Structure 1
Amino acid sequence: MTLAVRSLDAAFEACRRETAEWAKTFYLGTLLLPLAKRRAIWAIYVWCRRTDELMDSPEAQARPIDELADRLDRWEDKTRALFAGHVDDDLGAVMVDTIERFPQDIQPYLDMIEGQRMDLTWTRYPRFEDLRLYCYRVAGTVGLMTQGVMGVDGAYTSAPWSAAPDTSDAAVALGIANQLTNILRDVGEDRGRGRIYLPQEDLQRFGYSEDDLMAGRLNAAWRELMGFQLQRAREWFARSEAGVRWLSRDARWPVWTSLRLYRGILDAIERIDYDVFNHRAYVSKLAKFADLPRSFVLAQSR
């Protein structure tokens, strides 16, 4: 690392501002982490956001598929160089610093790029297993990227005979739960881009057609379909909870906070009677701050 400390600090501050602007619920959770860990999480978030923008920014959506594929190829090359220690911009600087402080594997980053490649050709998902793979790649990978930053409680590893517990399954489950929540919140927005992420097998099961979805039709079939989808997302959140107790003490409160607040979006969808076509489900600022003590208690008791 050859950049001056002040330059590196400025790059991390830029990541903080971007995270605060675009991921408000997530950002609130990061503020509960120690400084070094929160900066690392901000850097990883911005890398993920840059990856997503290659496909989902308004400018990208006007580009031909071949050009988008080339962009993803170049981004993969740049990411491989980054993991080899090559720095050519501010994001590279904070990511190399993060990788040095919190060693991790490149594979989740490459898997996320593969998830963006799926968006080149996939606009429908026949089965939930197809969607689950997509959710792993674009969001479950974030759990793997960040688990090394969060760390494991030393109480579980201090004895000579103890081995560090594997938190990977829970970390991936939380990412999948978050992505399923995004999909349910953004159904109306995604249809405007010609994308339907709800599995085709579920549409058929509940008797709700693509034409119904594109028209934003609110009926009994839609409410039953959405109720099923919300329950599935909640089950993935429940899977993720098992791993929180293994995390280092300074990471449990932030993770519980992020988990509970993001899961609260599912409750918000119910409160608007599943009308995600005309309303955006969100957790209010008051509700976010009111939940902090509850998450703190959970963090101490697990």
Structure 2
Amino acid sequence: MAGSALNDARLCHHGQRPGTPVVVASLEQAYEDCRQETARWAKTFYLGTLLMPPAKRRAIWAIYVWCRRTDELMDSAEAQALPQKQLEQRLEQWEQRTRGFFRGEVRDGLDLVMVDTLERYPQPLQPYLDMIEGQRMDLRQHRYATFKELALYCYRVAGTVGLMTQEVMGRDPAYTSAPWSDAPDTSEAAVALGIANQLTNILRDVGEDRSRGRIYLPQDDLMRFGYGEDQLLAGVVNDNWRALMRFQVERARQWFARSEAGVRWLAPDARWPVWASLRLYRGILDVIEQHDYDVFNKRAFVPRTGKLLDLPFSFVVAQVR
């Protein structure tokens, strides 16, 4: 059981005053619920978390579930049927609830594990607010004129995850304990990995996103490669599309490369899982290429066998880089 912050947590429901008694799951059960949800919805990510020590993996599961619930406010089947004003209200309520568990308020099991996680691994509120703002972008903006616009969106909905989790990962004491230590800030690399993952999601999910009326590929890139929005909506795979996608895949790989610089500074028990997650997620780009960039009719994913076979390679990389 956690210490003072969790013991002092104020339990409240929507509209109830702090201090009103409510029934929530035990801390152990709440973490188990987060584990199950992560395993169900993020198989590649979940596999990487299993390489972490128990305390760290549980914190990562809690953060993942908070992020997924944030995303579901906009992207669930239920949300798709709601008017914009109601979606805005949901985001506002979620923001207030998030500010609440940073103050130690608990309404349910997710709040409970987040309060525990924040006590064990203190971190700022701002990345959480930035992610919610990313959901507001999805509410208002369905096209992106330039990559600069898209990069801001990618930071908010995914780069923030790097900032949320870097305190959980920790730094190698060998670089931080000595007075002469000059280990750099890993925040930039953490954000880069989140952006790389989101760019990969965008390329994998082009076909799915178009059914929601969303096109994330920058409009100026579509024009540059002579590929029209009407063709994208129709799922046309031609030479122009392949050239456009080759460019996008290479851009995503560059962001993965930028993220690698920070992994070496992480705590030893975090380097292997981070390398494994990075390599496995980057592998989706390889599958997109193998499918000849047909993301409209073929879903790109790394098979379970491929994931397991890559783990020893990730371990070796974690030791030498």
Residues 215-260 of structure 1: CA distance to partner in whole angstroms, max 9, x if unpaired?
1001000000000000000000000000000000000000000000
Q: TM-score, normalised by structure 1?
A: 0.98
Query: Which of 125, 129, 139 is equivalent to 1:120?
Result: 139
The one-letter amino acid of 1:155's match is A
Which residue number corresponds to residue 280 of structure 2?
261
Which residue number corresponds to residue 94 of structure 1?
113
Which residue number corresponds to residue 17 of structure 1?
36
Provide the rounded CA distance (Å) in 2 between the counterparts of 1:224 and 1:151. 40
Where do residues 49-68 of structure 1 align in structure 2 (5 Å cutoff)? 49-68=68-87
Which residue number corresponds to residue 214 of structure 2?
195
**Matched position secondary structure for 1:91:** helix
Which residue number corresponds to residue 275 of structure 1?
294
Task: Judge conservation of contact 1:102–1:149 (CA < 8 Å) in 2.
Answer: yes
Provide the rounded CA distance (Å) in 2 between the counterparts of 1:6 and 1:292. 34
Provide the rounded CA distance (Å) in 2 between the counterparts of 1:39 and 1:201. 42
> Unpaired runs of 5+ in structure 2?
1-5, 10-22
Which residue number corresponds to residue 160 of structure 2?
141
The percentage of aligned residue pairs carrying the same residue is 73
Which residue number corresponds to residue 232 of structure 1?
251
Provide the rounded CA distance (Å) in 2 between the counterparts of 1:129 and 1:192. 24
The answer to whether structure 1 residue 301 and structure 2 residue 320 are counterparts is yes
Shift of 1:162: 2.3
Task: Judge conservation of contact 2:24–2:109 (CA < 8 Å) in 1.
Answer: no
Which residue number corresponds to residue 82 of structure 1?
101
Provide the rounded CA distance (Å) in 2 between the counterparts of 1:164 and 1:78. 35
Shift of 1:123: 0.5
Which residue number corresponds to residue 49 of structure 2?
30
Shift of 1:144: 0.2
**Matched position secondary structure for 1:273:** coil
Provide the rounded CA distance (Å) in 1 between the counterparts of 2:139 and 2:280. 31
Aligned residue pairs total 302
Residues 157-185 of structure 1: CA distance to partner in whole angstroms, max 9, x if unpaired?
11123255310000000000000000000
> Unpaired runs of 5+ in structure 1?
none
